[in-house]
Amino acid sequence: MKLLLDTHIWIWSHLEPERLAKKVSRALLSPENELWLSPISIWEFLLLTERQRVLIQGDPQLWIDTAWSRAAMHEAPLNREVAQKSRGIVLPRQDPADRFIAASAQVYDLTLVTGDSDLLRGKGYAKLANR
């Protein structure tokens, strides 16, 4: 299975793995699954560290590079198709980052791993709930 990690799932997998549901932890650790990340998640992580809502030791850029290499991630690039699909994603809240992440799951045929209730209610993409 190809798993697109929502921002909080990616961060928790490195900083607070106890917050992950057992089925999500197993899926992330399974060698049969590919782990994917949107550049939007990196952007959100940087915002969270700037606002001190996520606290890390050292340089956020280095943290990203280390986390990326530790988990053998694939990048779900933002492109014209993702941008176009993002406008058709129907979510309860109009969070642009969530729309890009959901559109990436749709375009690249990935299963979105999330605990975000808005994204879990979205349509048109596969989901694995962190519950």
In the predicted model, is pLDDT for residue 54 greater than 90? yes
Q: How many domains does the chain have?
A: 1
CA pseudo-torsion sign 16, 20, 24, 26? positive
Task: Provide the residue range defining the domain that includes 64.
Answer: 2-129
Query: What is the tens place of the pLDDT at every residue in 57-108?
Result: 999 999 999 999 998 899 999 999 999 999 999 898 889 999 999 999 999 9
Q: Provide the 10 A C-beta neighbour count for residue 103.
A: 26
CATH of the domain at 86: 3.40.50.1010
Query: What is the tens place of the pLDDT at every residue in 86-95?
Result: 999 989 888 9
pLDDT, residue 40, reads 98
Closest of 117, 118, 115 to residue 128, by C-alpha: 115
